[in-house]
A and B are shown apart, each in its own frame.
Chain A
Amino acid sequence: MQIPYTVSLRPDTGLFNAKLGVWLFLASEVMLFGALFSSYVFLRVAAPEWPHGYDLLNVPLALLNTIVLISSSVTMVMSWASLMMKDFVKYKRYMGLTILCGLIFLVVKAFEYGEKFAVGITPADSTFMAIYFTLTGLHGLHVVGGIIVNTYFWGPGSKMWKREPERFTNRVEVAGLYWHFVDLVWIFLFPVLYLL
């Protein structure tokens, strides 16, 4: 039996199923990160003293990562737009760039973590470091997940384009929703952890 509403819109929702499914998933992700942001506030308001992120963390590297992740969001949406314009070559280029940006983000993050570990700073060091590693670590795992999905759609998964172009375009659109969400979380993490 074929999976229904992968392309056609479900009459009661007006959406193809994957889109609503991913939005519901993102709603649960908001709660996951929301709980951790809430923990951050909880820890911070009761702390006798709270360090400035810029005194402990590497702001230029985080700024670089912000630029990289925002750029990857643009290339992601451009990869979807390329499919909408039936330009598969451009799709491959933009999706490739999105994956590359994701990898650069992880390398920079690993460098940042390495810098901390090299001088003996770990999550056990302080409440600030504990919440910093928890939030950025969870976010980093989301970047890894996004790279895996995007790489599948760039490589073997892209064969679907020849058979079912509209379904493939929808798949890329919802993968994009997830990727933009990961970017959105970083947009808040960057000032909260590094600049305040």
Chain B
Amino acid sequence: MSGTSVEEIKKHVRTYILVFVALMALTIVTVAVSYLHLSVGWAIAVALFIATIKGSLVAGFFMHLISEKKLIYATLILTFVFFIALMILPTSGYLDKVVK
């Protein structure tokens, strides 16, 4: 981001405000959906979907991932792969049919 002009930064600031509004709106939606008392599966899916959108907005705009160097993308892709592995591990009982 070094060498970015003041005009460009002003444009960024407008984007930050829009992202802030979107994050607030999505927070309200998250809470509102919880009052619908969906089935557990749907509730988890919807809540995680909204949280992923919010997280992407934070990472993409506030953390500038939308215009970052490839080395950082490579680091994060590797991190994501290991993160997914961690999330799959708890279901290993189903793979071995230990849990019926």
Contact = CB atoms under 8 A, between A and B. Distances in A.
Interface string A178-196: 0011011001101110011
Nearest to A16: B2
Contacts of B2: 7, 9, 16, 166, 169-170
A70 B86 contact: no
A160 interface: no
Interface stretch (A77-85, A110-118, A147-155): A77-85
A88 interface: no
Contacts of A137: none
A70 B20 contact: yes
B29 to A, nearest CB: 11
Contacts of A45: 90-91, 93, 99
A196 B89 contact: no
B1 A73 contact: no
B47 A192 contact: yes
Contacts of A86: 6
Contact of B90 (A38, A78, A183): A38
Given A30-B83, A34-B86, A191-B30, A196 B43 contact: yes
A195 B54 contact: no
Contact of A84 (B1, B16, B99): B1
Interface size, A (range): 35 or more
Interface in B21-47: 23-24, 27, 30-31, 33-34, 40, 43-44, 47
B67 interface: no
**Listed residue (B48, B59, B62, B69) with the most chain A CB atoms within 10 angstroms of its CB:** B62
B35 to A, nearest CB: 9
B13 A78 contact: yes
A37 B89 CA distance: 11
B87 A70 contact: no
A37 B79 contact: no
Given A15-B72, A23-B76, A183-B58, A188 B83 contact: no
A121 B44 CA distance: 26
B71 interface: yes
B99 A46 contact: yes
21 contacts: A13-B71, A15-B71, A15-B72, A20-B75, A27-B76, A34-B83, A34-B87, A38-B89, A38-B90, A41-B90, A45-B99, A67-B27, A81-B12, A81-B13, A81-B16, A85-B10, A166-B2, A183-B62, A187-B51, A195-B43, A195-B47
Given A184-B59, A190-B51, 17 more contacts: A14-B71, A15-B69, A31-B83, A35-B86, A38-B86, A38-B87, A38-B89, A46-B93, A70-B23, A74-B20, A78-B16, A81-B12, A85-B6, A85-B9, A176-B63, A180-B58, A191-B34
